[in-house]
């Protein structure tokens, strides 16, 4: 983590403690002041987090229900448009809204900053790994559910409600269940899938996560692709895989077995398994797909990180199960960083991470 990021996290952590403490008195003004300080700090240090809170219709509806407390609570000592209202009820409703916004903003920041490998590593040292996993689930649930619902926010109200139930159930299954989560970098040939996968796996390794599996770097000679290698993502070992011939590329049969063994071994020993690439051969049921479609009783992997040829996602998904999240191989840097953070901060990975011990 860069020094400036660590410094910002320390400042925000101190401000979070101060703003939470300001809520203890139960008064509206200190809570409102604490909310203003926290939102201002996010605008300065974490503007991306603040943008995730931009849900105007949701907040307007929340404000409406909060202020409705003026009709329901306390003595009616105020008249507005002929309606008898309660000053105490209005204050209580507004306090509820202010605190709701603050908690939402706090959880959204914490889910990105406090639920990664650092929290898990610290919790493991003090013997509270299970607690860290539970905290990580709680911090991750609300922002991730928000992201999924925003993807289809134009639907009708009943569809939104049904979608909320379905997405909540699916998310709970991912976080608390045993199903492997599948993420894919998708693109056509020569779009940069392998480079993107290698970048993500290298970052995860550097963060301390156990990563295994294989990728397929190209062999370039005189500016032309002449073949492919297989690379073990855990240790960098390489093996010849395919060579260009007069009739196209020819694949070495022993190389398929070499890749198969490393994928299966990674599923048993690593938490993130990289497989690149799944293309037309895999879409027809062959190739590397055979190492993934076979169930393992001793599966250790939490994430499968796949490189998938554009147009093959549906066929491959039918064989291995749904692909939970995709990233275009040519996506901008911000989307790539968000994709990496989604994986490394995911509570399923955090709660079961195996960290490498530095020599």
22 within 8 A of 34, measured Cβ to Cβ: yes
Examine residue 355 and state whether it is found in any structural domain, yes or no: no
Examine residue 220 and state whether it is found in any structural domain, yes or no: yes
The helix or strand, by DSSP H or E, that contains position 219, with its residue range, turns out to be strand 218-221
The per-residue pLDDT of the chain, averaged, comes to: 76
Question: In sequence order, which residues have a C-beta less than 8 Å from that of residue 234 and are 6 or more positions away?
Answer: 211, 212, 213, 262, 266, 270
Residues 67, 72, 76, CA angle at the centre, nearest 5°?
95
What pLDDT does residue 143 have? 52
pTM for the full predicted model: 0.55
The DSSP letter of residue 353 is -
Tens of pLDDT, residues 39-50: 999 888 888 777
Same domain, 128 and 150: yes
Residues 47, 323, 296, CA angle at the centre, nearest 5°?
125
Same domain, 69 and 43: yes
For residues 260 and 282, give the distance between their C-alpha atoms in angstroms, rounded to a whole number.
Answer: 13
Question: In sequence order, which residues have a C-beta less than 8 Å from that of residue 73 and are 6 or more positions away?
Answer: 86, 88, 89, 92, 93
Domains of the chain: total: 2
Low-confidence ranges of the chain (pLDDT < 50): 115, 122, 126, 128-132, 134-135, 138-139, 152-159, 161-166, 168-170, 172-173, 175-176, 352-359
Examine residue 288 and state whether it is found in any structural domain, yes or no: yes
For residues 265 and 293, give the distance between their C-alpha atoms in angstroms, rounded to a whole number.
Answer: 14
What is residue 299's three-state secondary structure?
coil
- For residue 351, how many C-alpha atoms fall within 13 Å in the half-sphere facing its CB? 20
What pLDDT does residue 314 have? 85
What is residue 23's three-state secondary structure?
coil
Which among 119, 144, 174 is the end of a domain?
A: 174
Examine residue 72 and state whether it is found in any structural domain, yes or no: yes
Residue 33: which domain range?
3-174
For residues 51 and 42, give the distance between their C-alpha atoms in angstroms, rounded to a whole number.
Answer: 10
Examine residue 359 and state whether it is found in any structural domain, yes or no: no
343 within 8 A of 305, measured Cβ to Cβ: yes
257 within 8 A of 198, measured Cβ to Cβ: no
Same domain, 207 and 243: yes
301: preceding bond cis by omega (within 30 degrees):
no
What pLDDT does residue 125 have? 52
Which among 174, 195, 225 is the end of a domain?
A: 174
Which among 174, 194, 226 is the end of a domain?
A: 174
Tens of pLDDT, residues 151-175: 544 444 444 544 444 454 445 445 4
Tens of pLDDT, residues 195-245: 899 888 888 888 888 999 999 998 888 878 888 999 999 888 999 998 887
């Amino acid at each position: 983590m860069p020094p400036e990021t660590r410094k910002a996290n320390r400042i925000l952590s101190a401000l979070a403690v101060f703003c939470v403490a300001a809520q203890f008195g139960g008064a509206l003004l200190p809570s409102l002041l604490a909310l203003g300080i926290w939102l201002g700090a996010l605008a300065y240090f974490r503007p991306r987090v603040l943008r995730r809170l931009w849900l105007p219709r949701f907040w307007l509806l929340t404000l409406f229900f909060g202020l409705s407390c003026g009709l329901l609570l306390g003595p009616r000592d105020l008249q507005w448009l002929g309606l008898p209202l309660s000053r105490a009820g209005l204050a209580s409703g507004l306090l509820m809204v202010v605190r709701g916004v603050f908690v939402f903003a706090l959880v959204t920041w914490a889910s990105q900053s406090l639920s990664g490998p650092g929290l898990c590593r610290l919790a493991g040292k003090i013997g509270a790994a299970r607690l860290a996993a539970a905290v990580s689930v709680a911090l991750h649930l609300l922002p991730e559910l928000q992201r999924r619902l925003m993807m289809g926010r134009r639907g009708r109200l009943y569809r939104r409600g049904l979608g909320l139930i379905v997405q909540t159930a699916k998310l709970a299954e991912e976080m608390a269940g045993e199903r492997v989560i599948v993420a894919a970098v998708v693109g056509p040939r020569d779009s940069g899938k392998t480079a993107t996968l290698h970048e993500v796996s290298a970052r995860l390794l550097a963060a301390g996560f156990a990563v295994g599996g294989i990728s397929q770097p190209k062999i370039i000679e005189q500016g032309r692709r002449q073949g492919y290698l297989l690379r073990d993502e855990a240790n960098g070992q390489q093996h010849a895989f395919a060579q260009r011939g007069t009739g196209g590329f020819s694949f070495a049969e022993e190389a398929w077995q070499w890749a198969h063994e490393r994928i299966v071994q990674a599923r048993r020993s690593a938490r993130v398994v990289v497989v690149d690439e799944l293309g037309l051969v895999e879409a027809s049921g062959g190739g590397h797909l055979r190492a993934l479609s076979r169930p393992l009783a001793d599966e250790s992997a939490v994430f499968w990180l796949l490189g998938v040829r554009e147009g093959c996602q549906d066929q491959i998904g039918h064989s291995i199960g749904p692909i939970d999240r995709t990233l275009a191989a040519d996506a901008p840097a911000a989307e790539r960083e968000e994709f990496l953070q989604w994986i490394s901060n995911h509570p399923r990975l955090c709660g079961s991470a195996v960290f490498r011990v530095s020599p």
